[in-house]
Chain A
């Protein structure tokens, strides 16, 4: 029997594993990817002081510590089922079944799609796919491409592609249709970009912030939006142009781009063809909750957190006994926050499995406080109202309390 089984060797999972191992628990971590680190791998941010935060190095630190602490980290393993068995959990993996007292789900996030005509062609990929191919596998995704979808994630990754010497000709909105939702709306896109103004001292932000002080100026700002786009990190960002089709016979050969009105509707006969060999689709992230869902854990829809999240407390406990969550499965935030959440989850597990429960009160409280501090210092904020979202979930947890086993598995 394992003390704690952790699904996901990312920032949250590894941080939790290290806390548990330090406190004498037997820990096993699995991850589908061939390397530990989760989506720390590939992230590169320039800090306000000009230094680079390298996710690969951060992942290595966490993993080295895990190795020293004799945490079993097994990569290339998928979990396909979870069942509750008496007082423990049974985890079904592609490399065997495991019985564990505590189960921590740190499965991170998945990408939301933006469907546009031609998006199934080879050469079209999610923006995250391009990040992994470029920074982790070190293979160029193409010679020249475009990014469809303008948001915090796509801006950050586009910069990474440029760092690697890949030409991104422009960032565009997606052509508007029922399923592309707000991504195709110039005004909403501009608003959401301005909320993350702290990310970059770019021209977009500077010009935008001036114009954005008054709501009534939003349409005006876009009306006079430069035809050539506004350059962010040397690359044009177009809020008044949209990719309406990706074209190619056997793979991407180019995109059809049209000017759009303030509502994102294409303006007739403004089309141009731009030859590219790759296209990145950037629809943002949503918590990857599938494993939590099959445990029977209750859920809550919280738009500030990126979608449906398993109900959980500030201590990263779910209403199901022995089931914990940490990282982006609880809501979309930066990797730094995920690490701190992992520490909280780790102490929660340690406390729950300990005979002296009071012993870990201080560490747990401290760890929770650190999450809050890290959140306040975050350079990248995925959602401006993240705190409101967090509160909603903690409230639900209080309402539900620890559910009895029979509530889920009895009848």
Chain B
């Protein structure tokens, strides 16, 4: 997906100029713009995956985008369970995806 920001809109008008913001997601560097959420900035960079399901490892992205479903939860700095759809990116922000966790007590699975 190329240039996925909607700069021109027939009714909403032109997207105003905003400052660039640098942040990392799982150690990769990304650029977003002031006022963008983590979910929006990642999507604009072509990245849909925000976490892996803790038990199955299945990949997830944002689903409801307004803070209800918790599917987009990420870790920001040391803060866990941050909703990427409600949190604005900040300069130098370190974001990490939720990872699959070990399930040592589950039947049939080895550590």
Which residues of chain A have a CB within 8 Å of any CB of chain B? 32-34, 39, 44, 52, 54, 56, 76, 78, 110-111, 120-126, 128-130, 132-135, 137-143, 163-165, 250-252, 277, 288
B93 beta carbon closer than 8 Å to chain A: no
Instruction: Say which one of B21-29, B56-64, B99-107 lies at the interface with A.
Output: B56-64
What residues of B have a CB within 8 angstroms of the CB of A139 in the complex? 4-6, 36, 40, 43-44
The CA of A343 and the CA of B18, in the complex, are separated in Å by 36
Q: Please provide the 5 A-B residue pairs with the shortest distance between their CB atoms, ordered closest to farther.
A: A122-B61, A129-B65, A122-B48, A137-B40, A140-B4
What residues of A have a CB within 8 angstroms of the CB of B40 in the complex? 133, 137, 139
B111 beta carbon closer than 8 Å to chain A: no
What residues of B have a CB within 8 angstroms of the CB of A56 in the complex? 12
What residues of A have a CB within 8 angstroms of the CB of B49 in the complex? 122, 250-251
What residues of B have a CB within 8 angstroms of the CB of A141 in the complex? 43
- Category for how many chain B residues contact A: 35 or more
The CA of A250 and the CA of B50, in the complex, are separated in Å by 11
20 A-B contacts, Cβ less than 8 Å apart?
Answer: A32-B86, A54-B11, A54-B12, A76-B86, A110-B68, A111-B68, A120-B60, A121-B61, A122-B49, A123-B48, A125-B62, A129-B85, A133-B39, A137-B40, A138-B7, A138-B12, A138-B15, A139-B40, A251-B61, A288-B68
Q: A124 to B10, Cβ gap below 8 A?
A: no
* Residue of A with least CB distance to B51: A122
Q: B60 to A33, Cβ gap below 8 A?
A: no
The CA of A125 and the CA of B62, in the complex, are separated in Å by 7
Q: B15 to A133, Cβ gap below 8 A?
A: no
The CA of A132 and the CA of B53, in the complex, are separated in Å by 24
Most chain A CB atoms below 10 A, which of B15, B48, B63, B68: B48
Which residues of chain B have a CB within 8 Å of any CB of chain A? 1, 4-7, 9-12, 15, 36-37, 39-40, 43-44, 48-50, 53, 58-69, 85-86, 88
* Known A52-B11, A122-B48, A133-B40; contact A142-B1, beta-carbon cutoff 8 A: yes
Q: B48 to A128, Cβ gap below 8 A?
A: no
Q: Is the interface of B mostly helix, strand, loop or mixed?
A: loop
What residues of B have a CB within 8 angstroms of the CB of A137 in the complex? 36-37, 40
Nearest-Cβ distance from residue B62 to partner chain A, whole angstroms: 6
Nearest-Cβ distance from residue A128 to partner chain B, whole angstroms: 7
Nearest-Cβ distance from residue B42 to partner chain A, whole angstroms: 9
What residues of A have a CB within 8 angstroms of the CB of B85 in the complex? 129
Known pairs A125-B65, A140-B4 / 17 extra A-B pairs, C-beta < 8 Å: A32-B66, A54-B12, A56-B12, A120-B53, A122-B49, A122-B59, A123-B61, A124-B61, A126-B64, A128-B66, A137-B36, A138-B5, A139-B4, A139-B6, A140-B5, A165-B6, A251-B61
Selected contact of B9 from candidates A33, A120, A138, A251, CB within 8 Å? A138
What residues of B have a CB within 8 angstroms of the CB of A142 in the complex? 1
Selected contact of A143 from candidates B1, B15, B62, B68, CB within 8 Å? B1
The CA of A124 and the CA of B9, in the complex, are separated in Å by 24
Nearest-Cβ distance from residue B100 to partner chain A, whole angstroms: 14
What residues of B have a CB within 8 angstroms of the CB of A130 in the complex? 65
